[in-house]
C-alpha cells in the first residue's frame, strides 16, 4: 500500500479504510468523522514556555468529542455483522456518540450513565431515541449492569476494550497526526486518560505505520493526564506497578476522567514505559484555570479533559521533563459546550 494514495481519500477517518477492519464500504455508518484540525497555538505556547505547541482539536467531531471515531468503527462493524442491539456504559460522551451512530444505522442503543452525568449527554441520547438508564454510581457500576443484563437482553456489549473495533477507530487519531506532520511524529503527546483507549489506539497506530514503512522507529513521549480526584494510572506509574488498583471515591469535574479502574490500564502503562513518557495528575481548579488560558489565548473552548493537558504541559516544561523547543501536541478530546456546569463555575454566569 502506497501512503501517497491516502491523500486521495476523503477528509475523514475513512481515508484510512485499507487499514481499518470494515470490509464492505456499503456498511459504513458515518457522519464524516475524523480529519480534525491540528492547530498551532503560539500564544498559548508563549504563556506556558513552549515554542512548538499544537492542539489536535477533537471537538470538531460529530457530537463534539473524539468518541465519534470509536463508535463510527464499532457501529459500522455491527452493521456489517448483523448486530441489532448495542449496549454500553459511559461517563457521558461515548453514550452520545453511540446514540448518534446507532440512530443513523437504525439500530437499538441501550446506554447506562452515572446519574450525575453532564446534562447535555443525557439530553442528546434521549433526543436520538436511545434507551437511557441513569445509575447511582460511577461508570464501573454502569458496566456491571450491562454485563449482568446483556445475555438475557440480546445486547452486543460495546464497552471499551470488550470489543475490538472502538480502538480501531481511535487509532486514526495517531494516523492523522503522522500524516498532518508529514509522516513524522512529535516529541511528546499529552492525552487525557480515563479509559485510555485513545492512547492505546495511537500507540498501535504508530507500530502499524512503522510496519508499513511509512514512519521510522522513533516515538513521542506519551503523557497520560488524569484528574487528581481519580488518578489510578498515575498512582500505578509512580509506584512502578504494571496495572492500577481501583480508585475509591473518584471525583472530578472532568467526567471523562472519572474512571476508577481502566480495563486497559496495563497497556497504557506499557506505552508510557516504552516511550519514555510519564503520567501526571491535575487538580480540578488547575485544569479549569488552564482551560480559561487556552480559551483566551487561542479561542479554543475545550473540555476539562483537554484543559488538563494544558496544565500538564506547563508543569512538565517547568520541571524540565520537556524542553522549551520540544514539539508538543495536546489532544483536546471534546468541546467545552458539553461541560457547561463545570465552566459556569468560572464564567460568573
pLDDT digits (tens, 9 = 90+) for 14-72: 999 999 999 999 999 999 999 999 999 999 999 999 999 999 999 999 999 999 999 99
pLDDT above 80 for 346: no
Tell me the pairing of strands 108-114 and 131-135: parallel
Q: Which fold has domain 67-157?
A: Rossmann fold (3.40.50)
Compute the distance between CA of residue 209 and CA of residue 207 in angstroms, rounded to an integer. 5
Cell readout for 98 is: 453511540
- What is the maximal distance between C-alpha atoms in the chain? 56
3-state class (DSSP) for residue 245: coil
Q: Mean of the pLDDT values across residues 320-336?
A: 98
Tell me the pairing of strands 38-40 and 52-57: antiparallel
Do the Cβ atoms of 337 and 65 come closer than 8 Å?
no
Q: What is the pTM of this model?
A: 0.93
In this structure, the number of other CB atoms found within 10 A of the CB of residue 106 comes to 9
Do the Cβ atoms of 269 and 242 come closer than 8 Å?
yes
Domain 3-65+166-347: CATH architecture, name and number where available? 3-Layer(aba) Sandwich (3.40)
Fold match, 3-65+166-347 / 67-157? yes
Domain positions in the chain: 3-65+166-347, 67-157
Q: Which of 31, 57, 307 is nearest to 177 (CA)?
A: 57
pLDDT tens, position by position, 121-167: 899 999 999 999 999 998 889 999 899 998 899 999 998 888 899 99
Note the pLDDT of residue 167: 96
C-alpha atoms less than 13 angstroms from C-alpha of 201 in its C-beta half-sphere: 29
pLDDT above 70 for 348: no
pLDDT above 90 for 2: no
Helix axis angle for 265-275 and 232-239, nearest 10°, is 50
pLDDT above 60 for 349: no
pLDDT above 70 for 347: no
Angle at 139 between CA 138 and CA 144, to 5 degrees: 100
pLDDT above 90 for 328: yes
Amino acid at each position: 500500500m502506497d501512503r501517497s494514495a491516502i491523500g486521495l481519500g476523503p477528509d475523514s477517518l475513512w481515508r484510512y479504510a485499507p487499514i481499518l477492519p470494515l470490509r464492505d464500504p456499503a456498511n459504513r455508518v458515518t457522519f464524516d468523522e475524523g480529519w480534525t484540525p491540528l492547530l498551532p497555538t503560539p500564544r498559548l505556547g508563549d504563556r506556558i514556555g513552549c515554542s512548538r505547541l499544537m492542539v489536535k482539536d477533537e471537538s470538531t467531531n460529530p457530537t463534539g468529542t473524539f468518541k465519534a471515531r470509536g463508535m463510527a468503527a464499532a457501529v459500522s462493524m455491527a452493521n456489517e455483522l448483523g448486530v441489532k442491539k448495542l449496549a454500553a456504559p459511559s461517563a457521558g460522551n461515548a453514550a452520545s456518540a453511540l446514540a448518534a451512530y446507532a440512530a443513523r444505522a437504525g439500530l437499538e442503543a441501550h446506554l447506562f450513565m452515572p446519574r450525575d452525568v453532564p446534562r447535555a449527554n443525557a439530553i442528546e441520547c434521549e433526543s436520538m431515541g436511545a434507551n437511557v438508564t441513569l445509575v447511582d454510581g460511577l461508570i464501573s457500576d454502569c458496566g456491571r449492569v450491562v454485563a449482568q443484563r446483556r445475555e438475557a437482553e440480546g445486547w452486543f456489549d460495546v464497552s471499551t476494550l470488550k470489543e475490538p473495533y472502538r480502538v480501531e477507530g481511535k487509532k486514526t487519531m495517531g494516523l492523522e497526526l503522522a500524516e498532518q506532520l508529514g509522516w513524522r511524529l512529535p516529541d511528546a503527546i499529552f492525552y487525557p486518560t480515563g479509559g485510555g483507549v485513545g492512547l492505546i489506539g495511537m500507540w498501535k497506530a504508530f507500530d502499524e505505520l512503522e510496519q508499513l514503512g511509512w514512519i521510522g522507529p522513533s516515538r513521542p513521549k506519551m503523557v497520560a493526564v488524569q484528574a487528581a480526584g481519580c488518578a489510578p494510572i498515575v498512582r500505578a506509574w509512580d509506584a512502578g506497578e504494571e496495572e492500577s488498583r481501583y480508585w475509591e471515591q473518584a471525583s472530578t469535574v472532568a467526567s471523562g476522567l472519572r474512571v476508577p479502574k481502566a480495563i486497559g490500564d496495563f497497556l497504557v502503562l506499557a506505552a508510557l514505559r516504552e516511550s519514555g513518557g510519564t503520567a501526571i495528575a491535575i487538580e480540578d481548579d488547575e485544569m479549569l484555570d488552564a482551560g480559561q488560558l487556552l480559551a483566551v489565548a487561542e479561542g479554543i473552548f475545550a473540555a476539562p479533559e483537554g484543559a488538563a493537558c494544558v496544565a500538564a504541559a506547563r508543569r512538565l516544561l517547568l520541571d524540565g521533563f520537556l524542553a522549551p523547543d520540544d514539539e508538543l501536541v495536546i489532544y483536546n478530546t471534546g468541546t467545552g459546550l458539553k461541560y457547561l456546569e463545570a465552566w459556569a463555575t468560572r464564567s460568573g454566569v
